[in-house]
Structures are given as C-alpha cells and as structure tokens.
Amino acid sequence: MVIVMGREATQDDVDSIVSVVQAAGVEAFVSRGVQRTIVGLVGDVTQLDATGLRGMQGVRDVMRVSTPYKLVSRENHPDRSVVRVGGVPIGPDTVTLIAGPCAVETPEQTLDAARMAQEAGATLLRGGAYKPRTSPYAFQGLGEAGLRILADVRAETGLPIVTEVVDAHDVDLVASYADMLQVGTRNAQNFALLQAVGAAGKPVMLKRGMNATIEEWLMAAEYIAQRGNLDIVLCERGIRTFETATRNTLDVSAVPTAQRLSHLPVIIDPSHSGGRRDLVLPLTRAAIAVGADGVIIDVHPQPELALCDGPQALVREDLGALAQVLRDLPPLLGKTAASAVSV
C-alpha cells in the first residue's frame, strides 16, 4: 500500500499517518520529494482501513496495488498522465518532437542544431553535456560548459532543454540548468541516480535499459516516483538482441505495453535504436503509428565532424520530411503535433 500526501501536507500530518500505520504493526517508509511526500507501507496491510487513512489530514491518495511498481502503475491511475516540460506537453493527446545534437560540442554547433530542430517542428531541445561513453577514450562531453551553452541556446531559441545526467553527484548542478533530466540506458538501473533525480524537482526522461524487461523499466521509474516525482517520461530506445545490422532492436511493442501497464507517457528514440540516418524516418513513422507520445531525434549541422553518434544524426535535407511526418501522421492516431499546441 502507498499513501501519497498532498502538496499542503505538514510534518505533523505525516507523523500522524506513520503512528496509525505503526500501531497496526505495519512499517512505514517516508520519502520526501520536492513536490510530494510518499509513505510506503510494508507488512500485513489487511488490518489497515484505507478509507480511514484517506480521510486523514494531508492525505491525497491511498493505493492498494498488486504490481511491484505502484506509483507509476495504471492500476489506480486509469487516466494517462501528461508531463509538462517548460510548458510543453508530453502525453496522450500529442506527439512531441525533441531534437538536437547527441552531444553539445560548440556554441555554434548547438545553436545550428537547435534551429534545425525547430525547423522540423521540435518544441524541446536535446543535447548531452555529460556523455556516458562506452570507451573511456571517447569524447565525454563538455560538462558544465556544455550546460551553459544549452542555457544560452534556450535563451536564443526559447526551446526548453532535455539533457542527461550520469552521476548522482551532478544532479543538482544539471538540474539548475535543465528543464528535463535524462537518465540514459547505461544508467537505467543506477538506483542512487534514479533516487537523486527523483528528488531534484525536474521532469525526468527515463530510457529503457538496453537489457531491461518492461517490468524492470517500470520498477526503475518507481525509484524516481518514490522520491515524490511523478513527472516521468519513459523512452524506448532499442534493446540488445542477436541482430547486428542495427545498433539496437527497436521494441515497438514496448510502447502500447508500457502504456497499458503505466500511466506515464512513452516516447521512442529512433536515432539510438536504429543507429543509422536512413532508419530514423521509417522508425519515426513506426513510433507514431504504434501510439508513442513523442520522439527524440539526433540532428547535427555537420555529422561528418560530430564528436558523438554522427552516423545516426539527421541532416538539413532530412528536416522537411521529418516535419511532414510529424504533421501528417499524429492526426491519424487522434493526436496533435505538440508544435501545434499553444503552450
């Protein structure tokens, strides 16, 4: 059982709940988030009166949930959620395009990529300042200097920023610049990082671990939610299979499956899944057709010079076709391109 406290709940309200729960012989774990406090109950909860708890001061919701992920489950939250990033919606009524360079390299490259993203209809800018690279010799990102470039480009273009954080110690710094924190596939089960982003007070995009089941992915999201942050967007970015013709295998069935199991929005990354420029548009069409709530796509003004993932970045010539896909396909699914929704 999980008790979600309202934003207005006081420490006394939380203490009263804990005493009632403990009196029934059940353990209470209190997670204080920036936005909400959550009390998780462990033990035999059959003696607890959920209606009575619901009536206590400061309580917003009491959930009895059978799944191992409780807060992100759709079981007690039948409506699908909308997560807003700097005012931009990601959710069931829209298809949101997040685009930008894989990595922030220079101010000019980042601004050029942001303009390309806008030309394609993006309403959010992606770009990594901290890069989780497989090789320790590969470009690791510009760090805080990269975050400053992103902030300048946001000021110039008005695009809110989605950027990755790879280490729990950097969460506060990255959150002070970012509009949305990204947790990448290599950190998808870094539980200390998940807890830290859960406490940072910013929306989070959680990529699926490349070897994670959908249940493991949702439990990773639960780590974030448990810290009081329910502004989570799930991102399917391809999983490891025996196939070597593509960088990863895009699991399109993960989208409707995760949407059935969880109320969180689900988006697709066609760039990191296919790993090849020529696959990005077909996979974007597949993403929209399967009901994804958005796509996150790499674009680069000069991919041949890119310090990271050049072969999968869309170039200027691709932008018209991407814009057209984003304009034409969402209405067939009863959705609107987020760029057409006023924020």
Of residues 51-90, those binding ligand PEP (CB under 6 A): none
For 206, half-sphere exposure in the C-beta direction (CA atoms, 13 angstrom radius) is 37
| 102 binds ligand PEP per the rule CB under 6 A | yes
| Binding partner at 330 among ligand PEP, Mn ion, none, C-beta below 5 to 8 Å by kind | none
Burial class (CB in 10 A: 0-12, 13-18, 19+), 300: buried
Cα separation, 185 vs 208, in Å, equals 6
| 129 binds Mn ion per the rule CB under 5 A | no
Per-residue binding string, ligand PEP, 194-213, x by CB under 6 A, is: -------------x------
Helix (H) or strand (E) holding 234, with range, is strand 232-236
| 102 binds Mn ion per the rule CB under 5 A | yes
Please, which residue, 179 or 309, has the CB nearer to Mn ion?
309
| Binding partner at 310 among ligand PEP, Mn ion, none, C-beta below 5 to 8 Å by kind | none
Rounded to the nearest angstrom, the gap between the alpha carbon of residue 333 and the centroid of all alpha carbons in its chain is 22
Of residues 293-312, those binding ligand PEP (CB under 6 A): none
Please, which residue, 288 or 306, has the CB nearer to ligand PEP?
306
SS3 content of the chain, % helix, strand, coil (to 5): 40, 20, 40
Rounding to the nearest 10 degrees, give the CA dihedral for residues 154, 160, 164, 167: 90
CB 309 within 8 A of CB 102: yes
| Binding partner at 207 among Mn ion, ligand PEP, none, C-beta below 5 to 8 Å by kind | ligand PEP
- Could you write out the three-class secondary structure of 169-185? HHHHHHHHHCCEEEECH
| Number of neighbours of residue 109 by Cβ within 10 angstroms | 20
CB 170 within 8 A of CB 194: no
| 128 binds ligand PEP per the rule CB under 6 A | yes
User: Minimum distance from CB of 210 to Mn ion (Å)?
Assistant: 13
User: Minimum distance from CB of 342 to Mn ion (Å)?
Assistant: 31
Name, in order, each residue with C-beta under 8 angstroms of 244's C-beta and a sequence gap of 6 or more: none
| 270 binds ligand PEP per the rule CB under 6 A | no
Cα separation, 299 vs 315, in Å, equals 6
Please, which residue, 186 or 327, has the CB nearer to Mn ion?
186
| Binding partner at 236 among Mn ion, ligand PEP, none, C-beta below 5 to 8 Å by kind | none
| 272 binds ligand PEP per the rule CB under 6 A | yes
User: Minimum distance from CB of 185 to ligand PEP (Å)?
Assistant: 4
User: Minimum distance from CB of 250 to ligand PEP (Å)?
Assistant: 11
Cα separation, 190 vs 187, in Å, equals 5
Please, which residue, 62 or 299, has the CB nearer to ligand PEP?
299
Span from 31-39, 79-87, 179-187, 226-234 in contact with ligand PEP (CB under 6 A) = 179-187
- Indicate which single residue of 105, 293, 309, 318 sits in contact with Mn ion (rule: CB under 5 A): 309
Q: What angle do CA 225, 231, 232 make, to 5 degrees?
A: 75
| Binding partner at 185 among Mn ion, ligand PEP, none, C-beta below 5 to 8 Å by kind | ligand PEP
Amino acid at 148: R
| 28 binds Mn ion per the rule CB under 5 A | no
Binding site for ligand PEP (CB under 6 A): 102, 128, 132, 164, 184-186, 207, 237, 269, 272
